[in-house]
C-alpha cells in the first residue's frame, strides 16, 4: 500500500467539492499539501483560501493562491483537512502537525468539513494515536497532572512551539469510547487551549483512499 499515492488520491478527490468563486478553508499536513497542489490547478476558479498554519499559508502563496485572514471571512463553504485517526462516526484525532488550534478554528467556521486521508487513519476506537493537547506553557505541569487523573499518560512534545506560542502534550494510553465527553472534559482543564479531539464537530465527509480507489463516507 503506497501511502503517499493514497494521500494524493484522497486529496484530489476533494476538488469536486470546491465551489467556484469561494474561499476554501485549508488544513495542515502532508495530505493537505497534496490538496493545495491540486487546488493550484483550479486556482483561477476560486477566490482564495483561509489557512490553518504558517506552513499551509506558505505553500498556498507559492502557488499564487490568495490567503485571507479569517476575520475578514463571514462564511466558508468547506474546510479540507487531514487526520491522524478517524472513526466510523467521522470523529477525529488531529494535531500530529501541531496545528490543531487554528485547524479547529477554521473548521468551526466552515459549513462543511471534509477529511482527506489514507486508510491507515481509519480506526474503530480513537486513542491509538497519542492525543495532542495544546497548552499555555506555564500550565503544562498542572495540565499533565489533571490528564493523569483522567487516565491519560501525557508526554511533553519537546522543542515544539505552536504558531500561537503554546506547547503540546501528547496523551498516550487512551481508549476513547466517548470522544465528545473526553473532548469536553479536556476543554475544562484550566490552561488547555485546544485538544485534538474533533468529535463535538466531526467531519461531514471523509474521503479515504488505499492508493487505488477512494471511499466516500458521509455522516
Ligand atoms: O496535524 C494535523 O491535524 C494533520 O492534519 C494530521 O492530522 C494529518 O497529517 P498527515 O496528512 O501528514 O498525515
Reduced to 3 states, what is the DSSP secondary structure of residue 184? helix
Q: Cell for 199?
A: 468529535
Given this model, what pLDDT does residue 67 score?
Answer: 98
Pocket test for ligand 1, best of 87, 94, 120 (most atoms within 8 A of CB): 94
Ligand 1 atom 5: the closest Cα is on which residue? 82
Cβ atoms of 203 and 86 closer than 8 Å: yes
Given this model, what pLDDT does residue 178 score?
Answer: 98
Query: Cα(133)–Cα(126) distance, rounded to whole angstroms?
Result: 15
Distance of CA 50 to the CA centre of its chain: 14
DSSP assigned state of 86: E
Beta-strand pair 92-93/197-198: antiparallel
* CB distance 134 to ligand 1 below 6 Å: no
pLDDT in 10s for each residue of the chain, 219 residues: 999 999 999 999 999 999 999 999 999 999 999 999 999 999 999 999 999 999 999 999 999 999 999 999 999 999 999 999 999 999 999 999 999 999 999 999 999 999 999 999 999 999 999 999 999 999 999 999 999 999 999 999 999 999 999 999 999 999 999 999 999 999 999 999 999 999 999 999 999 999 999 999 999
Query: Cα(114)–Cα(130) distance, rounded to whole angstroms?
Result: 22
Query: Cα(165)–Cα(178) distance, rounded to whole angstroms?
Result: 30
pLDDT tens-digit readout, 126-158: 999 999 999 999 999 999 999 999 999 999 999
Q: Of how many residues is the chain composed?
A: 219
* CB distance 154 to ligand 1 below 6 Å: no
* CB distance 97 to ligand 1 below 6 Å: yes
- Stretch (H or E) spanning 5: helix 3-12
Cβ atoms of 99 and 55 closer than 8 Å: yes
Ligand 1 atom 11: the closest Cα is on which residue? 31
Query: Cα(25)–Cα(1) distance, rounded to whole angstroms?
Result: 29
Query: Cα(58)–Cα(45) distance, rounded to whole angstroms?
Result: 20
Give this prediction's pTM: 0.98
Query: Cα(22)–Cα(178) distance, rounded to whole angstroms?
Result: 35
Cα(47) to ligand 1 centroid in Å equals 25
As annotated, the binding site for substrate includes 28-31, 81-84, 94-97, 121
Cβ atoms of 183 and 131 closer than 8 Å: no
ipTM of the complex: 0.97
Query: Cα(87)–Cα(149) distance, rounded to whole angstroms?
Result: 25
Amino acid at each position: 500500500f503506497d501511502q503517499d499515492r493514497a494521500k494524493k488520491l484522497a486529496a484530489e478527490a476533494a476538488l469536486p467539492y470546491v465551489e467556484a468563486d469561494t474561499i476554501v478553508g485549508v488544513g495542515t499536513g502532508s495530505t493537505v499539501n497534496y490538496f493545495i497542489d491540486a487546488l493550484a490547478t483550479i486556482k483561477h476558479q476560486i477566490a482564495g483560501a483561509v489557512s490553518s498554519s504558517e506552513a499551509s499559508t506558505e505553500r498556498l502563496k507559492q502557488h499564487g493562491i490568495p490567503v485571507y485572514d479569517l476575520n475578514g471571512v463571514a462564511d466558508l463553504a468547506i474546510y479540507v483537512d487531514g487526520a491522524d485517526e478517524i472513526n466510523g462516526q467521522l470523529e477525529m484525532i488531529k494535531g500530529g502537525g501541531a496545528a490543531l488550534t487554528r485547524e479547529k478554528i477554521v473548521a468551526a467556521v466552515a459549513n462543511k468539513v471534509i477529511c482527506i486521508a489514507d486508510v491507515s487513519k481509519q480506526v474503530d476506537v480513537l486513542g491509538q494515536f497519542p492525543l495532542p493537547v495544546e497548552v499555555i506553557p506555564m500550565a503544562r505541569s498542572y495540565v499533565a497532572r489533571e490528564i493523569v487523573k483522567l487516565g491519560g499518560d501525557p508526554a511533553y512534545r519537546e522543542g515544539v512551539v505552536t504558531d500561537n506560542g503554546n506547547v503540546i502534550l501528547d496523551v498516550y494510553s487512551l481508549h476513547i469510547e466517548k470522544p465528545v465527553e473526553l473532548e469536553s472534559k479536556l476543554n475544562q482543564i484550566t490552561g488547555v487551549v485546544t485538544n485534538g479531539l474533533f468529535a463535538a464537530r466531526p467531519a461531514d465527509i471523509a474521503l479515504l483512499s488505499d492508493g487505488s480507489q477512494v471511499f466516500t463516507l458521509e455522516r
